[in-house]
Structure 1
């Protein structure tokens, strides 16, 4: 599975998220347990995924375990797994389609879990941030690069 052109979306997602959290693979193994089924992401499998070694595509229970451990929305995990293991691009799952650092996809994925009140509050936060950015940039400056 090291042939040229092999997709790595799922591996990259897990590796980057673990780095963001500052945790070891052993810590991720302990955290990555599906609360419903008890399925656990094992150290050896996690290590192989992060290092680009051949592994079977994760089943739903394993994705739920990863959701719990890595705190990545299930839909984002599904999309990255579909891209890497099956060559499918799911609604903008390709790197950089929304944002290079995944933040927009994460916000959208979590929005589906929010109440109407939560979404309204998030929209208000976005409005405040937009006003602050406009004030920093001054009139006629347009969008910020940040």
Structure 2
């Protein structure tokens, strides 16, 4: 990515899913209710969603806003969280799955895509070893 160019991971995810659902900003905003706190109502406003998609500054969303956005978009929360981490914190999330792992092991790395395939493999092996060590101490 060219220097000075802001990442748009969450913005692009929201724009793409909004188009796929064929909904207006207002309709999408009304759907952004956090399933864990439904009484609090929508977590996003039409204007904030529009600003996000159009590249204008928005505050980094917290967990309740991300859960609400995931609900509104009809996407898994983890996908929305990963996109938010990438856009607002420059952290790439990589899922490592394998028989030796207890579920998914999530590695959050800055600039993961810049690592060589060999280095990515080394990190996967570290995650597997770490997972094995943790299960032995339980």
Shorter-chain TM-score category? 0.5 to 0.7
> 1:5 Cα deviation (Å)?
2.0
> 1:43 Cα deviation (Å)?
1.1
How far apart in 1 are the matches of 2:4 and 2:17? 24
Matched, 1:52 2:55: yes
Correspondence 1:130-145 to 2 at 5 A: none
| 2:124 matched residue in structure 1 | none
> 1:67 Cα deviation (Å)?
1.2
TM-score norm. by structure 2 comes to 0.62
Moved more, 36-45 or 26-35: 36-45
Matched, 1:61 2:91: no
| 1:6 matched residue in structure 2 | 6
Q: How many residues align?
A: 92
Instruction: Please list every run of at least 4 consecutive aligned residues from structure 1 whose deviation after the TM superposition is greater than 4 angstroms.
Output: none
Q: Where does the alignment leave 5 or more consecutive residues of structure 2 unmatched?
A: 96-107, 114-138
How far apart in 2 are the matches of 1:13 and 1:25? 14
Computed over aligned residues only, the root mean square deviation of the Cα atoms, in angstroms, reads 1.9
How far apart in 1 are the matches of 2:54 and 2:83? 16
Q: Where does the alignment leave 5 or more consecutive residues of structure 1 unmatched?
A: 98-146
| 1:16 matched residue in structure 2 | 16
TM-score norm. by structure 1 comes to 0.59
Compare the two structures and name the one with the higher strand fraction: 2
| 1:83 matched residue in structure 2 | 86
Q: 1:78-119, CA deviations, whole angstroms, 9 ceiling, x for partnerless residues?
A: 1100000000111169xxx8xxxxxxxxxxxxxxxxxxxxxx
**Secondary structure in structure 1 of the residue aligned to 2:92:** coil
